Amino acid sequence: MAFWRGQKAKSGESSSGSAPDSGVSNGSVSSGSVAISGVSKWTQGLRNLTGGAAVDSPLPLPVSELRRIVDPASLGFTTTADVTPIRGLIGQERAMAAIEFGTEMRAMDYNIFVLGPPASGKRTALKTQLDAKAAKSVAPDDWAYVYNFEEPSHPRALRLPAGRARLLARAMIGAIDELRGIVPALFEGEDFQSRRRAIDATYQAGQEQALEALNKKAAAQNIAILRTPQGFALAPMHEGKVVKPETFNALPDAMRTEKQAQIAALEEELSKILERLPKSEKERRGKIGELTQEMARAAVTAALEDVAAAFADVPAVISHLNDAGEDLVRNIALFVPSGDGEASTEIREPSDAVRDPRYRRYLINVMVGQTAATDTPPPTGAPVIEEINPVYGNLIGRIEHVAQGGSLLTDFLLMKPGALHKANGGYLLIDARRLLLSPFAYEALKRALKACEIRIEPPAETSGMGVVPQTLDPEAIPLDIKVILTGERDIYYQLAEHDPDFLGLFKVQADFDDAIARSPANDLAYAGVIASIISEHKLKAADASGVARMIEEGARLADDREKLSVEIGYISDLVREADYWAGKAGRTIISHDDVQKAVDAQIQRADRIKDRAQETVERGVVLVDTDGAKVGQVNGLAVMQVGQFMFGRPSRITARVAIGQGRIVDVEREAKLGGATHTKGMMILYGFIAGRYAQEVPLALGATITFEQSYGGVDGDSASSTEIYALLSALADAPIKQGFAVTGSVNQWGEVQAIGGANHKIEGFFDVCKARGLTGTQGVLIPQANVQHLMLREDIVAACKAGTFRIFAVSTIDQGIEILTGIPAGDRGSDGTYPAATINGRVEARLRGFAERARSFGKSAGGSPSTDGLQS
């Protein structure tokens, strides 16, 4: 809604309606009339130029449009102690419904992405909802890894009912400890020893008998069996001594031959006896082995029978116990003290089965085990896990290694669970940004979701890079999980655009809004949220004025007086800081002043950069005029953001014109300081100029437009209307009142469009004017469409109310140029031209002059003007 007194004057027409302030009566203008005494000479001059057409003086926005104030009395309570706290969020029905839907869709591709601004309370709300839902769910099964006796590098996964994995682990430790106690005694016991001795005696007796018989036989033949380092040797003997060669050679041939034959025959016999020894020894060992196995089996069966009985209803456990039992029987020697000679007197046995490396393969690695004891009921509820550091290993699990003798070794007990394991059967919350910043983690998560299983493997193996030490390939665990990613909107949209898997896995988006609509009901709901914050943090109660001020600040945070920000984090900070300031002031109730103090203190803590920027303007380092008038120069407005703090800053925009070839040079773009959006705005500017003024006459214009003293880059088109004003001023040679600052985007039709940060921009210029002293002729032009967003500071509202500062809302360039110059913009007449005394008329005349001079120059120089647009 624009505030104009009467109708806009057209050329040749008198204004209709009265203008009380100006004293102009209907119809004619009389210089002697008292009625015109209130009209400035400037305005009168304009009226004369326009043939008596009245110039409508625009009205600034009324105070009520500058800030939407909450009347404390309208809230209907005295303090927040009278308000029912509202836990959770308000105005997020869309998002909460999406979460509800997503958590109930039991499908692996309906995971949830919760998007929204930070501090919107989405994480807290999400966790609260999930906790409530999970509490009613069934507890998921336990999972453990056990040694694979057939393929040790492929540990087996064991599924157990909830709460029983740890019981199984404890039971196995107990069984091993039992074997550690009974096996040594068993093999030292009389039963085993006597049976073993019997076996030894049988085989030894056999050997001894054979050797003894051979000895006797040899002795009967006067042949001795001698021991040598190489074995045995048979020698002819006489009277206990070996017969010397010369004596032997002196014997008759027949005797010698017979003796040699006897020796040879005995050697053969001895050889056969000795050859049988290894086989005999093997048989003996075999018998002892059978005996050992028999004793071992009895002990192992006894040790494991209680475990088997306790887990008889879990076939996988029974199968594993069978395998473990067989292995224990085969390796029963692990439980018998070694004792290998003199040096072994100081052998210390490890204190328990867990620490003894010999028994590791019989233990149970509980990956996911609900805490349970035999005398408590089984656990309930699904897990809700929030992984705050979603690196690859924390997510998927890891296989750890230990260094031993220069090598890296591992076994199934060194496998560690990840968040996917812990949340299996439940919910897993992950911050999307952290996930994406962790190498391999996002891809690993997607793999797990697509395959519906958790497979632990080193990242080097999945990426194909790096050296992979000896590692394991454990059996995968089935995955049934709901993953909820939280993050800002840009992350969601980037993933949706660039990752082909993303939307297929995260089909539910829970979009948290920034703000809710203002309404009496929502104002009260806001009060309920504030009461909840006060209750949660045990703060002082706030009175209605304090709550009202907080609601206003909520609108300010939303940058829209028709909205309230639901970024609960910021509201919570405000409430807590107001509580602090109330305490500092000795108050027991938070009131309006405390909230205002909190707001001011927040700004004060953050606005050092703004102060420095302001200082440069006040000291004239950065040139900004706030009075007088200049041709081709307008105060533009920009918003700076430093961290979370935003502030507005005026910036001089200038335009120079000359005869040219229809090019409007964007200096920022030429200097590569202009962004794409700014360039677009400048092109639109050209479209407007050409569309309005170059239908009959070529545009022989050469113009440059720039942001003076701007070296850090410019983007956005919120200054495009400002740039047009500067250009029109330069073309029309009409000074622009420097007490104004302008913001607004423009389209090719000259319609002023909405921009962002209107409040900060206005405040930025106000602060500069206020520092120099408000004159009453200063103000800001904003797009009409931005009026609904105004939630200006109270001091600006007060200044406007006092008439020392003004805010104007415009819808078209023509409206704006009239305010800025005080000269009517002018409408095109039936002859297609603009009245000469109007801005449009003067611009038209100037451009025609350019075109004619360019043509004459071109004729004399042999060239012709072109109608190129913006320099490309």
Partner 1 sequence: MAAQTAAPHAAAVHAAMAVAAAFETWVECLLIESPDVLALTRHPFARTVSHAGRIAPLSLEGFAEAQSSATARARNMLRTAGQHSNVRVETTIVQDGITDALARACAIEGPWNLMALAEPVQPKDSRWLCELLAEVNGATGIVCAGTSVGPPARRGSAVLVVVEDIERLPQMLRAAERLARDNAPAAGARPVLLLVAGESAEKSALIDGHLRLLMADMPADPAAPIGIAEAGVAHGTPIEIAEALRRQNAHVVILRCGGIALPANGDAAPLLGVVSSPMLVVR
7 versus 338: smaller Cβ distance to partner 1: 338
Calpha distance 398→409 (Å, rounded):
14
For residues 571 and 582, is the Cβ–Cβ distance under 8 A?
Answer: no
DSSP 8-state secondary structure symbol assigned to residue 715:
-
Q: How far is the CB of 312 from partner 1 (least distance, A)?
A: 39
CB of 205 to partner 1, least distance (A): 10
Q: Print the binding letters for residues 277-316 with partner 1: x by CB under 8 A, - otherwise.
A: xx--------------------------------------
C-alpha 841/C-alpha 540 separation (Å) is 65
Between 235 and 629, CB nearer to partner 1? 235
**Residue 297, CA distances (Å) to 173, 174, 186 in order:** 18, 17, 12
Piece in contact with partner 1 (CB under 8 A), picked from 50-58, 155-163, 259-267, 731-739: 259-267
Structure tokens at 693: 């003024």
Query: Whose Cβ is closer to partner 1: residue 267's or residue 475's?
Result: 267
Q: Which of residues 37-66 bind partner 1 (CB under 8 A)?
A: none
What one-letter code names the amino acid at 338? S
Distance (Å, whole) CA 672 – CA 872: 13
Is the Cβ–Cβ distance between 662 and 868 less than 8 Å?
A: yes
Q: How far is CA 451 from CA 112, 239, 358, 479, in A?
A: 18, 91, 36, 8
| Residue number, 276 or 855, with CB nearest to partner 1 | 276
Select the span of 164-172, 273-281, 459-467, 568-576 touching partner 1 (CB under 8 A). Answer: 273-281
Taking the least distance from each CB to partner 1, the nearer of 13 and 269 is 269
- How far is it, in rounded angstroms, from Cα 123 to Cα 56? 55
Is residue 584 part of the annotated active site? The answer reads no
Which position among 718, 720, 729, 745 bears the catalytic label? 718
> Which residues, at least 6 apart from 853, have a Cβ–Cβ distance to it below 8 Å?
659, 700
Tell me whether residue 279 or residue 538 sits nearer to partner 1 (CB atom): 279
Out of 248, 580, 645, 857, the only residue in the binding site for partner 1 (CB under 8 A) is: 248
Least separation in angstroms between CB 283 and partner 1: 16
- Give the separation between CA 58 and CA 818, rounded to whole angstroms: 9
Nearest CA among 578, 628, 618, 559 for reference residue 792: 559
Which of 343, 403 has the CB closer to partner 1? 343
Sign of the torsion angle spanned by Cα atoms 620, 626, 631, 633: positive
244 is a site residue for partner 1 (CB under 8 A): yes
Site for partner 1 in 409-438 (CB under 8 A): none
Cβ closer to partner 1: 340 or 375? 340
- How many chain residues are in contact with partner 1, going by CB under 8 A? 47
Among 274, 408, 460, 640, which residue interacts with partner 1 (rule: CB under 8 A)?
274
Query: Would strands 398-399 and 402-404 be described as parallel, antiparallel, or unpaired?
Result: unpaired
- Smallest distance, Å, CB 206 to partner 1? 14
The token pair at 730 is 């330069």
Based on CB atoms, which residue is closest to partner 1, 272 or 801? 272
CB closer to partner 1, 137 vs 215: 215
**Residue 723 near residue 705 (C-beta atoms within 8 A):** yes
Which single residue is written with the structure tokens 């990242």? 459
Residue 612 Cα to chain centre, angstroms: 34
Does residue 235 sit in helix, strand or coil? strand
* Residue 831 interacting with partner 1 (CB under 8 A): no
Q: Decide if residue 252 touches partner 1 (CB under 8 A).
A: no
The CB-based long-range contact list for 852-858 (8 Å cut-off, 24+ gap) reads 853/659, 853/700, 854/659, 854/660, 854/661, 854/698, 854/700, 855/700, 857/659
Cβ at position 438, least distance to partner 1 in Å? 53
Q: Give the shortest CB-213-to-partner 1 separation in angstroms.
A: 14
What's the rounded Cα separation, in Å, for the pair 413 and 851? Answer: 88
Q: What gap in Å lies between CA 407 and CA 388, rounded to an integer? A: 33
List the interface residues with partner 1, window 156-195 (CB under 8 A): 188, 190, 193
Q: How far apart are CA 119 and CA 644, in angstroms?
A: 12
* Candidate residues 16, 40, 271, 856; the one interacting with partner 1 per rule CB under 8 A: 271
**Contact positions with partner 1 (CB under 8 A) in 196-235:** 197, 201, 208, 224, 226-235
Return the number of the residue (267 or 593) whose C-beta is nearest partner 1. Answer: 267
Residue with tokens 């002697």: 32
Closest distance between partner 1 and the C-beta of residue 286, in Å? Answer: 19
- The type of residue at 170 is R
Q: Among 262-270, 488-496, 587-595, 674-682, which window interacts with partner 1 (CB under 8 A)? A: 262-270
Query: Could you tell me which of 243, 242, 224 has the C-alpha nearest to residue 234?
Result: 224
The C-alpha atoms of residue 757 and residue 776 are separated, in whole angstroms, by 24
How far apart are CB 341 and partner 1 at their closest, in Å? 5
Q: CA 773 to CA 763: how far, in whole Å?
A: 15
φ/ψ of residue 577, rounded to 5: -70, -35
Integer Cα distance of 409 and 420 in angstroms: 25
Alpha carbons 489 and 484: distance in angstroms, whole number: 15
For the CB of residue 232, give the shortest distance to partner 1 in the complex, in Å.
5
**CB 275 to partner 1: min, Å:** 3
Q: Which is nearer to partner 1, 236 or 865 (CB)?
A: 236
The CB-of-250 to partner 1 minimum distance in angstroms stands at 13
| Binder of partner 1 out of 2, 29, 63, 242 (CB under 8 A) | 242
Catalytic residue among 8, 133, 563, 761: 761
Please say whether the beta carbons of 144 and 416 come within 8 A: no
Euclidean distance between CA atoms 637 and 722, whole angstroms: 9
Binders of partner 1 among 311-350, rule CB under 8 A? 337-345, 347
Calpha distance 762→785 (Å, rounded):
15
Q: Is 153 a catalytic residue?
A: no
**Least gap, CB of 142 to partner 1 (angstroms):** 42
Q: Give me the residues paired with residue 840 across strands.
A: none
Choice from 273, 441, 703, 727 touching partner 1 (CB under 8 A): 273
Active-site residue numbers? Answer: 718, 761
- Write out the residues near partner 1 by the rule CB under 8 A: 188, 190, 193, 197, 201, 208, 224, 226-236, 241-242, 244-245, 248, 260, 263-264, 267-268, 270-278, 337-345, 347
